Amino acid sequence: MSKVKYQLHFYSMYDHTGICRNLENMAAQGWMLEKTGTFCWKYRKCEPKKIHFAINYFPKASEFASEPTEEQKIMFEYCDQAGWKHISTVAQMQIFCNEQENPIPLETDAATQVEIISKAMKSSFLPAQFLLFVIGVLQLGMALSRFLNHPISALSESMNLFTSLCWSGVILLTGTEFVNYFTWLRKARKAAEEEGRFVKTKSFPKLQIAAVVIVFGGMLFSVLASANVVSITSVIFTLIFVPVLFGGVNLMKRFLKSRKVSTGVTRTVTFITSFVISFSMIFIGVGVVMNVVRNIMEKQSGVENYEYRGMTWEVYHDELPLIIEDFMAVDYDEYSYKFEANETFLVAEYEATQRPKMDALEHPDLYYRIVKVKVPIFYEMCKTEMLEEVERWRYASGYVEAEYRDQYRTVDSKIWQADAAYREYRGDEPQNRFLICWGNKLVEIAFDTFEDGITDEIISVVAEKLKDF
Backbone torsion region of residue 226, taken as left when φ is above 0, otherwise alpha when ψ lies between -120 and 50, otherwise beta: beta
pLDDT of 40: 86
Burial class of 440 by CB neighbour count within 10 A (0 to 12, 13 to 18, 19+): middle
User: pTM of the predicted model, to two decimals?
Assistant: 0.73
Distance CA 297, CA 250 (A): 35
Sign of CA dihedral 145, 148, 153, 158: positive
Distance CA 459, CA 304 (A): 32
Report which of 387, 324, 334, 341 is spatially closest to residue 358, judged by C-alpha positions.
334
Which pLDDT tens digits describe the chain residue by residue (469 residues)? Answer: 678 998 888 888 888 889 999 999 999 999 999 988 777 899 999 999 999 999 888 877 766 666 777 778 888 888 888 899 999 888 788 899 999 988 888 877 888 888 888 888 887 788 888 888 888 898 889 889 999 999 999 999 877 777 787 788 788 888 888 888 899 999 999 998 888 888 888 877 777 777 777 666 666 665 555 545 555 666 666 667 667 777 777 788 778 777 777 777 777 877 787 777 777 766 665 566 566 556 655 555 557 888 888 888 889 999 999 999 999 899 999 999 999 888 888 999 999 999 999 888 888 999 999 999 999 999 999 999 999 887 665 555 455 566 667 889 999 999 999 999 999 998 888 989 999 999 999 999 998 888 777 888 999 999 999 999 8
Distances (CA, A) of 428 to 408, 409, 422, 431, 449: 11, 10, 14, 9, 19
pLDDT of 222: 59
DSSP string, 89-126: EETTEEEEEE-SSSPPPS---HHHHHHHHHHHIIIIIH
Structural domain boundaries in the chain: 4-98, 110-300, 304-466
What count of Cα atoms within 13 Å lies in the side-chain half-sphere of residue 361?
Answer: 3
Element (H, E) at 127: helix 126-149
Dmax (CA) of the chain:
98
**Beta carbons within 8 Å of 435's beta carbon, 6+ residues apart:** 386, 387, 408, 421, 422, 423, 424, 442, 443, 444
Backbone angles phi, psi at 321, to 5 degrees: -70, -25
Q: What Rg value do the Cα atoms of the chain yield, rounded? A: 31
